[in-house]
Amino acid sequence: MSVSAKLEGRCLCGSVRFSAKPESDEMGTCHCSMCRRWSGGTFMSVACGDSLEISNDADLGLYRSSEWGERGFCKSCGSTLMWRMLDGSHSYVSIQAFENPAQFRFTTEIFIDKKPDNYAFANDTSKMTEAEFLAAYASTEDADNG
């Protein structure tokens, strides 16, 4: 996949449509309790930076899930669509909302220490605990702000 390609996506019913430019062809999944409850499994997503553009947001629901982030979903069909920073600087879009989710390589699992013991992925992925992820994210944010 070309990293420069802007991809189209939508919810299940088509009420919410968007375009986004993935930062790479690598996708990850989050095992935190919020993502599991919100998505009904793990949240499999691709980083799209600030490129996410919602073309019709009348049916876009937003849930502020923390001091810094919000989760987007379709108010009509309930589809899980994205997580983004409140300031819009970083977004992670559900790979399932794109037409071809198989185009992304599964490379990363975060909050691995929060994963229930009743499932495991066979893929060889980079795994980060909650503390490791938050430390890495904080150092990335410090570098971005410096």
Segment 90-109 shows an average pLDDT of 97
The reply to whether 1 falls in a domain is no
Segment 117-132 shows an average pLDDT of 96
Closest to 63 (Cα-Cα) out of 29, 35, 23, 30 = 35
Closest to 81 (Cα-Cα) out of 128, 27, 18 = 18
Segment 24-36 shows an average pLDDT of 96
Tell the residue number behind the tokens 């375009």, with chain if given: 19
List residues bridging with 142 in a β-sheet. none
Number of domains into which the chain is organized: 1
Please tell me the predicted confidence (pLDDT) of residue 125: 97
94 versus 138: the higher-pLDDT residue is: 94
The reply to whether 26 falls in a domain is yes
Q: Is the pLDDT of residue 37 over 90?
A: yes
pTM score:
0.89
Closest to 34 (Cα-Cα) out of 89, 8, 71, 67 = 71
Query: Whole domain around residue 102: which residue ranges?
Result: 7-145
Please tell me the predicted confidence (pLDDT) of residue 143: 44
What CATH number did the domain enclosing 29 receive?
Answer: 2.170.150.70
